[in-house]
Structure 1
C-alpha cells in the first residue's frame, strides 16, 4: 500500500527536536539561540508509467517534507558553535545531525569554520533545505543535482569585503566526505578522499555575481558490477576494467548572475561536472528564472536544461576468436550502452503566497521532457520508444521559526 507520508519517521524526529529544545532551554542562558524550519510538500506526476524525484501518479508527501532545528551557542565574542539536526520523510535522505562546527570570527571580515558544514556548490547551498528562502518548491534538478553531495567535514575560511559601491565574499575550504549519495533514487556509497574549492560572490548596483570551482578525488562503490570488473581484470583487460570503476578526480564549476528590484528579479546559474573517470558523465546544466511580485504574491517561471555525455570507452576485447571472449565483449558493451544519460529540459511555472513573515504557501507545475532513450533524471520509465514527457504537480507549506 502506498504511503501518503512517512508519519513515523517525522514523529520520531519531532520528538527528538522537542526534547532537545526543552532540555537545553531548561539550562540555557542568553548565549544560546534556537531557530528552525520545516516544510510539508505534496506532489505527483501525470504519467502512470514514470517516476521523477520519487513522485509517481499517486499523491505523496514523503519526498521533500522535513523539519529541522538549529542551535547557535556563543562561547566568547569570537568563538561560537553551530549544530543542526534535521528529519526527512524521504528514504533517500538521511535524518540526524546535518551541521556540527565551530566558528571563529578572527576579525570583522575574516572567519573560520571547523567541522561538518555545507559545501558552497550553488547559490542556495546554505539554505537548500530551507524552502522558505527561495521561490521554488523544488530547485531545478538539472543544476541542483544529486550527483554531488552537499556536506563535508573539514576547514573553511571566509573573507567578507565591502566598499562604497560593492560587497561580497571569498570562501575557500578543504575536507573529506564518506557517506551515501543518491542519483535518481539509486543509492551508492561514496568515499571522497579530499574535496577542496573556492567560491566568490559579489553584489553591485542590484546585480549579484557568483563563481565557484571545486575539485575532489572520489571513489563510489558499485557492488553489482564488481564481479564483472574482476573478470575483466583477470583476463588482462585492465583498461576496460578501469573504465567501469568510479575512482578518480572530478571537478565542479559554477557561474551565477542575478538582478533584482523591488518588483521583479532575473536569475541564472550554470554548472559543469567533469571527470576523467569513464563511468561518470560530463554534465553541463543551466537555468534561467524570472519572477514578478504582486504585493505578497510572487509569480515565477524557470527554464532549465542539462546535457550529459560520456568519454569514449576503450575497445580492447577481441571478437571472433572464442565464444567466451564474444560473450565478455557483449556483456561489456551492454553495460556501456545501459549507462543513464541525464539530459533533460523543463519549464516550471509557480506562485508563492507569503501568508505571514515566516509562513509561505506555494504551488508549482513542471513540464519535463527527456529525449528518447535517455533517463533524464527519471527514476523509472518504460523501455518502449518515444520521448519521456510528464508534468510534475506540487503544493507546499513552508515555514521558519
Structure 2
C-alpha cells in the first residue's frame, strides 16, 4: 500500500491560508468476503479489477476504500479528487477522479480532467457500495473494464414539466488492459451523452457513446513462432481496430417500500471485429423496517456477427471463427441488505451463475472466463 498517496491526500485537505478556500474530506469503505460453494468454480465479481471468488474464503474481491476531497476555490470554481484502493490490487492507490468544475451558469457545470464516464445508471457511484442494494452491481451488465476518461464534460440541469432533468455530454480519451483478453486497448476520441429524468419515485435514464478510433494490441498464439523463437512462448502482438458504440437505458421505481430497478446495455463493434453484446438486469426489492430482501436476474449475450477468425489458440491448433462461440451467461442473485446505522449497511447474497457458452472442443473452460458457479458473499459498507 502506498501510504505516501494517502498522506498527500491529507495534506491537500488543509487550506494554505485561513481564507484561501473551503475543503471537504469524505470517504467510504467496503469490506466483503465470499467463496464459491464447489471446487473448481470461480465467480467473477468485478470485471473492471478482475475480482474473482473461488472455493477458498477471500476478502479481496469486494474490499476497497476511497477518500474524496472537494475544494471550493470560489463561488463557481471547485476541484475534486478521489483516491481509491482495491484489496484485489493490494490497495495500490489510483486517482479515480481528478477534475476541476466550473459553474458556468446556475444550470450548467463544466468539468475538465479525469472524470467518470456516465455510461451506466450507477456510474457516478460505481465504487460506493452503500449507494445500491447489492454487494456489487450485476457483473453481467457492469462489465466495461474502463470507466474513466481524461477529457471534458458539461451538465445542464433543467425542469421539463414535473421532470427534473440532467443532460450531459462528454469527450475524451482513455486506455487500459482488458482483463479478459489481456489486450491493451486505446480509446482516442470518445464522444458521448446521457439524459436523466426524475419525477418523484420514478427515474429514467439513457446514454450513448461512440469512438471510431479504438485500437487493441492483442496477444496472439502461434505454434510456428514458438518453434522458431521459444523465448516468446509462441505469443506475438496483433493490432486490431475496434471502433465501438455503447448504448444504455435504465428505469428505477422506488417509493421507499417497493423497489424495481432495470438496466439494458448494447455494445456494437462497428467493423464486426468482435461479436456485438447485449446485457440487462432486473431487480425487485421490498423494504421491511431496516431490511431489504431483493432478487436480481441478469444476462449477458453476444451475437454471431463477428468476421474475425483467430488463427490459433494455445493448445488448439485450428482456426476459430469468433462468431461460432458467442458468450451466453446468466445469473440469479438473492440477498438481504440491513441498514443498521445512518451511514452503514450489512449485506449477504447468494449468486448462481450459468454459463451456456459453446466452446471449441479441447478448450473447455478456457474460451469463456466465466463458467457455472454458485457463491455466497457478505459485505459491510460504511460512509464517513
TM-score range, shorter chain: 0.7 to 0.9
- How far 1:172 sits from its partner (Å)? 0.3
Work out the CA distance in 1 between the residues paired with 2:323 and 2:306.
14
Q: Say whether 1:200 aligns with 2:222.
A: no
SS at 1:17's partner residue? Answer: helix
- How far 1:15 sits from its partner (Å)? 6.6
Which residue of structure 2 aligns with residue 356 of structure 1? 341
Aligned pair partner of 1:49 in 33, 40, 43: 40
CA RMSD of aligned residues (A): 3.4
Kept in 2, the 8 Å contact 1:188–1:220? The answer is: no
Work out the CA distance in 2 between the residues paired with 1:68 and 1:245.
35
- After superposition, residues 25-64 of structure 1 pair within 5 angstroms as 25=14, 27=16, 29=18, 31-53=22-44, 54-64=52-62
Distance 1:168 1:269, change over 3 A: same
SS at 1:20's partner residue? Answer: helix
Distance 1:16 1:154, change over 3 A: closer
Q: Say whether 1:267 aligns with 2:261.
A: yes
Q: Say whether 1:181 aligns with 2:178.
A: yes
Which residue of structure 1 aligns with residue 307 of structure 2? 313
1:64-102 Cα deviation digits (max 9, x unpaired) = 211111111111100000011111111399631111101
Work out the CA distance in 1 between the residues paired with 2:58 and 2:318.
38
Work out the CA distance in 1 between the residues paired with 2:11 and 2:118.
32
Kept in 2, the 8 Å contact 1:114–1:155? The answer is: yes
Which residue of structure 2 aligns with residue 238 of structure 1? none
Kept in 2, the 8 Å contact 1:283–1:306? The answer is: yes
- How far 1:222 sits from its partner (Å)? 4.1
Which residue of structure 2 aligns with residue 217 of structure 1? 212
Work out the CA distance in 1 between the residues paired with 2:382 and 2:167.
30
Kept in 2, the 8 Å contact 1:343–1:374? The answer is: no
- How far 1:341 sits from its partner (Å)? 3.6
- How far 1:188 sits from its partner (Å)? 2.8
Q: Say whether 1:170 aligns with 2:167.
A: yes
Kept in 1, the 8 Å contact 2:184–2:218? The answer is: no
Q: Specify which structure has the higher proportion of helix.
A: 1
SS at 2:14's partner residue? Answer: helix
Which residue of structure 1 aligns with residue 154 of structure 2? 157
Q: Say whether 1:87 aligns with 2:78.
A: no
- How far 1:373 sits from its partner (Å)? 2.7
Distance 1:176 1:94, change over 3 A: farther
Work out the CA distance in 2 between the residues paired with 1:400 and 1:356.
10
Aligned pair partner of 2:6 in 6, 9, 17: 17
Work out the CA distance in 2 between the residues paired with 1:117 and 1:391.
35
Work out the CA distance in 2 between the residues paired with 1:94 and 1:335.
37
- After superposition, residues 215-294 of structure 1 pair within 5 angstroms as 215-217=210-212, 219-225=214-220, 245-294=239-288
In structure 1, the gaps of 5 or more residues are 1-11, 231-243, 318-326
In structure 2, the gaps of 5 or more residues are 45-51, 226-237
Which residue of structure 1 aligns with residue 375 of structure 2? 392
Kept in 1, the 8 Å contact 2:195–2:205? The answer is: yes
- How far 1:389 sits from its partner (Å)? 2.7
Distance 1:59 1:218, change over 3 A: farther
